[in-house]
């Protein structure tokens, strides 16, 4: 899915252009290695880390040292001898989308829009009955939550959906499946509702919550740096817009998740800035004391198959590291360590 074609992708960038400003095939210049500092394992688990500290840790700590530091934070915050999980199901209610994300192979162009891509799937909107069958299949295996997201569906036209459609969907699910937790509508979707239906973000959320929305997923986070977002996710939220949707969720006392999609054109410093922005918003939200805030952080690597971004030689996954294995663990442990203080 988630988290969300630039017309330039039709002008040759699909095979050779450098989205990050370097010639295609150039060596990876996104990471500037600093001189090795003092022992990087000296950060106590209660010490708040700066982005400079994290940069040092990236270069100076082994994956085992990073894992130990992250584990120490986890043990301090959650000393109990168990962990919890939820059985849920992803339901993509529609794939019509006006955004032009070059990392996406999920969306379909609405009939009124022509992105120029010829590799897109057929468009669809699920009926309430189709959504109901998916929920019943989830309940049959003991599931308790749905993660429901879609494209940025237009308001008008043959594929358009009204705001009342979304409210009715919430009411339908809560009436028929009252024990199902509805974790739905990413920040780009909610921001689109604000734009096309002429309502404040706060009011959009208030009405969705009244109809049955329980929490909001962190889809569309990608990398919280506008340099990246403007190149890979045209037509979706910029950094401050994504953060403002989450801020308003937390003002309502709602729990949300937050995300990162990495391993494409972002720099190390942009990854670290992403983490800093999430931590600052979490600080602000927890200080409010109303129960709102991030309850989970999910990061995943860019999936290049069948995407314009994946075909670009300037994309990090073609130059390595792909964000998998030790690199992926390093990014995850950064957040675990950073979030603990």
The reported pLDDT for the residue numbered 330 is: 79
Cβ–Cβ under 8 Å, residues 331 and 264: no
CATH 3.40.50.2020 fits 7-16+52-76+85-339, yes or no: no
The kind and range of the H/E element at 303 are: none
pLDDT given for residue 273 in this prediction: 94
Q: What is the pLDDT of residue 316?
A: 60
Query: What is the reported pLDDT for 293?
Result: 97
Low-confidence ranges of the chain (pLDDT < 50): 1-31, 33-38, 40, 318-323
Question: CA-CA distance, 201 to 41, in Å (whole number)?
Answer: 43
Question: Which 8-state DSSP code applies to residue 38?
Answer: S
pLDDT of residue 290: 98
Q: Which residues pair with 88 in a beta bridge?
A: 145
For the entire predicted model, the pTM comes to 0.85
Q: What does the pLDDT look like over 1-46, one tens digit per residue?
A: 333 322 222 222 222 233 444 333 333 434 454 444 445 455 666 6
Q: At how many degrees (to 10) do helices 163-176 and 128-140 cross?
A: 30
Alpha helices in 236-312 (DSSP H): 239-251, 268-288
**Parallel, antiparallel, or unpaired for β 145-149 and 255-262?**
unpaired
- Structural domain spans, the chain: 7-16+52-76+85-339
Give the pLDDT of residue 186.
98
Per-residue pLDDT, 340: 62
Which of 268, 251, 247 lies closest to 321, judged by CA?
A: 268
């Amino acid at each position: 899915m988630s988290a969300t074609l630039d017309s330039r992708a039709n002008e040759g960038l699909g095979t050779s252009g450098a989205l990050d400003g370097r010639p295609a095939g150039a060596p990876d210049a996104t990471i500037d290695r600093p001189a090795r500092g003092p022992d990087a394992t000296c950060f106590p688990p209660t010490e708040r880390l700066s982005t400079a500290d994290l940069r040092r840790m990236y270069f100076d700590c082994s994956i085992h040292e990073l894992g130990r530091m992250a584990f120490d934070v986890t043990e301090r915050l959650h000393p109990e001898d168990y962990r919890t999980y939820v059985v849920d199901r992803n339901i993509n209610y529609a794939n019509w989308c006006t955004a032009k994300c070059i990392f996406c192979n999920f969306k379909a162009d609405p009939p009124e829009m022509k992105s120029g891509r010829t590799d897109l799937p057929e468009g669809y909107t699920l009926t309430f009955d189709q959504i109901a069958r998916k929920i019943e299949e989830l309940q049959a295996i003991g599931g308790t939550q749905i993660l429901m997201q879609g494209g940025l569906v237009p308001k008008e036209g043959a594929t358009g959906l009204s705001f009342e459609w979304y409210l009715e969907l919430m009411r339908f699910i809560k009436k028929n499946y009252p024990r199902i937790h509805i974790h739905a509508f990413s920040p780009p979707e909610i921001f689109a509702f604000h734009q096309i239906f002429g309502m404040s973000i706060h009011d959009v959320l208030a009405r969705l919550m009244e109809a049955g929305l329980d929490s909001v997923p962190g889809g569309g986070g990608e990398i919280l740096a506008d340099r990246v977002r403007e190149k890979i996710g045209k037509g979706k939220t910029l950094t401050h817009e994504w953060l403002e949707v989450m801020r308003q969720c937390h003002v309502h006392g709602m729990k949300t998740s937050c995300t990162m999609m990495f391993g494409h054109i972002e720099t190390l410093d942009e990854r670290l800035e992403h983490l800093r922005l999430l931590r600052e918003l979490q600080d602000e939200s927890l200080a409010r004391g109303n129960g709102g805030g991030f309850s989970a952080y999910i990061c995943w690597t860019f999936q290049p198959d069948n995407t314009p971004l994946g075909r670009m030689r300037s994309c990090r996954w073609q130059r390595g590291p792909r964000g998998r294995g030790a690199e992926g663990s390093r990014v995850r442990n950064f957040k675990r360590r950073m979030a603990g203080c």
